[in-house]
């Protein structure tokens, strides 16, 4: 794989923002991250604005509702499905207005299929992940709905040179390790075999989008993501360990992009730009890759979403990522 939708020295965000004013969040994103803006998510708005509900609203002919235990499939769409869909449509309407005149790559985020399967329950109460047939149905429905969503965003942002699709899969390591709890919480669901996990993930990757898988958890399955055909991986730099570096090196050598979370996602003292850039620079040096490829292959981001931060910090964190990304191009050897 060669070539990336963005230019050198690019930064972006993970997805979630604090507050409930989506128009303001869009203004912040387009203002602070002009090279790779994205559609922000505001979970503080409540039911349907959360990662799982927002993505479930894309499913075709698989309506959901909220139960005390969380999201569950139901026979027909109800107010929870409508609320989730309404949030998304309003966000897209605001995006269409804000993005007028914009030209360049644009990023959107959705919950990945394995994290979704571990979160949404079947009608009788078991998690979707417990039933392989139900997982297949979810994947088929998700693939159809996701392709339509990508096409809708492309229509609303006609200046987008390419859609960057981020699949959020924080639950994937647990799916592979067999640590996802049952609906009752008293047991654990069996581990999913790597070939099955790879096949299901590959099945939802839409044509015509550059796909990145985000996993802000330990034990990121780099080999699986590479085999599934993702164009890049998004990880928290603070969770990477030396034992991960062989797999990371294979990902880099294969030409996959690395979206590296290098700024805390909650209010804290922001590091200097050199400190923010340091994990990427040192990783490149340790693995022996040419400095000339660093600024194009690595995109700097916050460590995870910014929903738990203050609005002022969220803006400052994005700005710091943008400033630090320049270091990767200007002085990668320092």
Average pLDDT, whole number, for the chain? 95
Q: Is the pLDDT score of 256 beyond 50?
A: yes
What is the model's pTM? 0.95
pLDDT at residue 331, rounded to an integer = 53
- Quote the CA–CA distance of 250 and 257 in Å, as a whole number: 12
Q: Of all residues in the chain, what percent carry a pLDDT higher than 70? A: 98
Does the pLDDT at position 323 exceed 90?
A: yes
Of 144, 150, 70, nearest to 110 (Cα)? 150
Tens of pLDDT, residue by residue over 147-170, are 999 999 999 999 999 999 999 999
The per-residue pLDDT for 1 is 42
Q: Mark out the alpha helices in 120-244 (DSSP H runs).
A: 132-156, 172-177, 194-204, 222-228
Tokens at residue 281, please?
A: 């620079």
**pLDDT per residue as tens digits for the range 71-124:** 999 999 889 999 999 999 999 999 999 999 999 999 999 999 999 999 999 998
Asked if the model's pLDDT at residue 125 lies above 90, the reply is: no
Q: What is the mean predicted confidence (pLDDT) over 296-309?
A: 97
Binned at pLDDT 50, 70 and 90, residue 185 comes out as: confident
**Residue appearing with tokens 């850039």:** 277
Q: What is the mean pLDDT of residues 169-192?
A: 93
Residue whose pair of structure tokens reads 């769409």 in the numeric block:
77
Q: Give Cα separations from 263 to 56, 159, 226, 269 (angstroms).
A: 29, 29, 25, 10
Q: What is the pLDDT of residues 207-239, one digit of tens each?
A: 889 999 999 888 999 999 999 999 999 999 999
Strand partners, 188: 181
Give the percent of the chain with pLDDT over 90. 91
- Does 334 score more than 50 pLDDT? no
3-state SS assignment for residue 31: helix
């Amino acid at each position: 794989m060669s070539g990336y939708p963005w230019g050198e020295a690019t930064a972006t965000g993970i997805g979630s923002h604090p507050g409930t004013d989506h128009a303001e969040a869009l203004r912040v994103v387009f203002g602070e991250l002009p090279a790779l803006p994205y559609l922000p998510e505001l979970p503080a708005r409540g039911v349907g604005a959360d990662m799982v509900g927002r993505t479930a609203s894309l499913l075709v002919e698989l309506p959901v509702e909220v139960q005390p235990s969380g999201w569950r499939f139901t026979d027909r769409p109800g107010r929870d499905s409508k609320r989730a869909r309404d949030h998304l449509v309003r966000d897209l309407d605001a995006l269409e207005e804000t993005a007028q005149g914009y030209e360049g790559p644009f990023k959107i985020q959705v919950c990945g299929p394995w994290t979704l399967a571990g979160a949404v329950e079947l009608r009788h109460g078991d998690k979707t992940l417990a039933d392989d047939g139900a997982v297949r149905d979810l994947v088929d429905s998700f693939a159809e709905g996701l392709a339509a969503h990508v096409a809708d965003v492309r229509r609303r942002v006609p200046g987008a040179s390419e859609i960057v699709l981020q699949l959020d899969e924080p639950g994937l390591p647990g799916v592979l390790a067999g640590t996802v709890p049952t609906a009752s919480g008293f047991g654990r669901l069996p581990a999913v075999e790597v070939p099955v996990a790879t096949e299901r993930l590959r099945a939802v990757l839409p044509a015509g989008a550059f796909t990145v898988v985000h996993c802000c958890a330990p034990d990121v399955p780099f080999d699986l993501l590479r085999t599934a055909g993702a164009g890049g991986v998004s990880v928290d730099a603070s969770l990477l360990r030396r034992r991960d570096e062989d797999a990371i090196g294979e990902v880099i050598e294969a030409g996959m992009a690395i979206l590296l979370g290098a700024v805390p996602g909650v209010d804290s003292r922001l590091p200097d730009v050199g400190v923010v850039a340091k994990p990427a620079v040192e990783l490149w040096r340790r693995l022996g890759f040419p400095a000339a490829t660093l600024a194009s292959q690595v995109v700097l981001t916050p460590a995870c979403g910014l929903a738990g931060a203050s609005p002022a910090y969220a803006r400052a964190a994005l700005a710091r990522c943008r400033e630090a990304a320049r270091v990767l191009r200007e002085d990668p050897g320092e």
